[in-house]
Chain A
Amino acid sequence: MAGERDPDAELMVRVKQGDAAAFELLVEKYKQPVMNLAYRTLRDSNEAEDLAQNVFVQVFKSADRYRVEAKFSTWLFTIARNLCLNEIRRRSRHPAQSLEAAENPEDESLGQQFEDRKNTSAPDLLLRDELTSKVEEALGSLPENQRTAILLFKEKDMSYEEISEILDCSLSATKSLIHRGRETLKQKLKPYLRTGVWDE
């Protein structure tokens, strides 16, 4: 990181000085990946949105504690993960409050959000929805640290080092978590994995 200027860190410096516009830019940029992590951890879109909102409020409130030399996304996802863990703990203490979410593990709204960029036929969409459900289910069955590691790894500009910092574990442990998680996913999704060719 030395010598590189993280543009988000620059925005955070402005947020520290009370610049709401800079904060709004950060929210716009990161709302989707934070929501993805929250949704795939909690599996309830309303709770995930509340949590994601809380993540950004925490970011704003803790702006003074942000160190400019730290990468913003690492700091942000550390807060997001901690809030997710708190919610998981709260749910385990008060399971009745999560009944509604448990009854609807596949949130209907997710299907509506599915982007249909290509002109896809109805049977294809159905198959794709089914496949999505299977992948969501397989991801949901992973232990929290493996799932979070895989979801963060899915973020293209997130390195192993950053993920290990967010998960508060060593680099080798992080690689191992991702590897084991992916192995489990491959086992669970074996019927849906097709062999392909190297394509860019």
Chain B
Amino acid sequence: MNKPENNQIDELIARAVRGELKEAERRDLEHRMQLDSDLRDRFEMEQSLEQLLERLPNAPVATNFTSRVMQAVAADQRSATSSKRAWWRIPFVRLATGLSVVTIAGVLSLNEYRKSQRNEMVRSVASFTEIASAMSPEDRPALAFRDFDAIANLSVPAESELDLELLVALQK
């Protein structure tokens, strides 16, 4: 018997032991086995092996196997959901904390800046007043305004009679 024919017979026997042969194929195999005792031996060995394999007992499965699987699936889903939440929560908390710190620092800095500006303004006015009061009325306008940068930058007219009069009035 050549190899392809042998393979064909093997497959026929394999299908026969699985009960998959059609009636015509089964008759054909029976006929061949009547003529060939070796073929019958092969078939019987295969059938016997198949029976041994079929009689192998099932592996033990716990009675609560399905419920354990369902519990494991539920636990897996819960952990997947909570890890997703945690993933969302951690950056959110970090972002919120970061924004709060920046906002508080900004507000404090702004307050500090405004406070220092006010103090500067008060100091300027105080020093101007002091200088102005120490001068003779004739020299006041020129000297007073010459060193007062803020007023000079604002281009306030140096010889403004009205302003001088106001300052003198305030001094009194």
* A residues adjacent to B (C-beta < 8 A): 20, 23-24, 27-28, 31-32, 35-36, 38-40, 45, 48-49, 52-53, 56-57, 60-61, 107, 109-110, 112-115, 128, 131-132, 135-136, 139, 150, 154, 156, 175, 178-179, 182, 185-186, 189, 192-196, 198, 200
> Which B residues between 28 and 75 are near A, CB-CB below 8 angstroms?
30, 41, 43-49, 51-62, 65-66, 68-70, 72-73
B158 at interface, CB cutoff 8 A: no
B66-A27 in contact (CB<8A): yes
* Contact A109/B60 with A24-B70, A28-B66, A178-B14 known, Cβ cut-off 8 Å: yes
| Count, chain B residues at interface, CB 8 A | 35
Given A49-B65, A193-B48, the answer on whether A175 and B59 have CB atoms closer than 8 Å is no
| Complex Cα gap A60–B72 (Å) | 10
Consensus secondary structure, chain B interface: helix
- Contact partners of A194 in chain B: CB under 8 A: 48
Q: Point out the residue from B18, B55, B60 that lies within 8 Å of A110, measured CB to CB.
A: B60
Establish whether residues B56 and A185, one from each chain, have CB atoms under 8 Å apart when the complex forms.
Answer: no
A186: chain B residues at CB < 8 Å are 45-46, 49
**CA of A38 to CA of B52 in the docked complex: distance in angstroms?**
19
Which partner residue on chain A sits nearest B43 by CB separation?
A: A198
| Docked pose: A136 CA to B56 CA in angstroms | 8
B19 contacts which of A114, A115, A175, A200 (Cβ < 8 Å)? A200
Main secondary structure of the interface of A (DSSP, over half): helix
Taking CB as reference atom, which chain A residue is nearest B52?
A135
Residues of B within 8 A of A113 (CB): 57-60
17 contacts between A and B (CB under 8 A): A27-B70, A31-B61, A31-B66, A31-B69, A32-B61, A35-B61, A53-B68, A56-B69, A57-B73, A60-B76, A128-B55, A132-B55, A150-B53, A182-B49, A189-B52, A195-B41, A195-B48
User: Shortest distance in angstroms between B118's beta carbon and chain A's nearest beta carbon?
Assistant: 65
A57/B76 in contact, CB under 8 A: yes
Which residues of B have CB within 8 Å of A28?
66
| Chain A neighbourhood of B73, CB < 8 A | 20, 23, 56-57, 60
Q: How far is the CA of A170 from the CA of B45 in the complex (A)?
A: 27
**Cβ of A132: which chain B residues have Cβ within 8 Å of it?**
55-57
Q: Are B60 and A135 neighbours in the complex by a CB distance under 8 Å? A: no
Residues from chain B with Cβ under 8 Å of A156 in the complex: 18
Complex contacts, A178 vs chain B, CB 8 Å = 14
Inter-subunit contact B59/A193 (CB<8 Å): no
- B49 in contact with A53 (CB, 8 Å): no
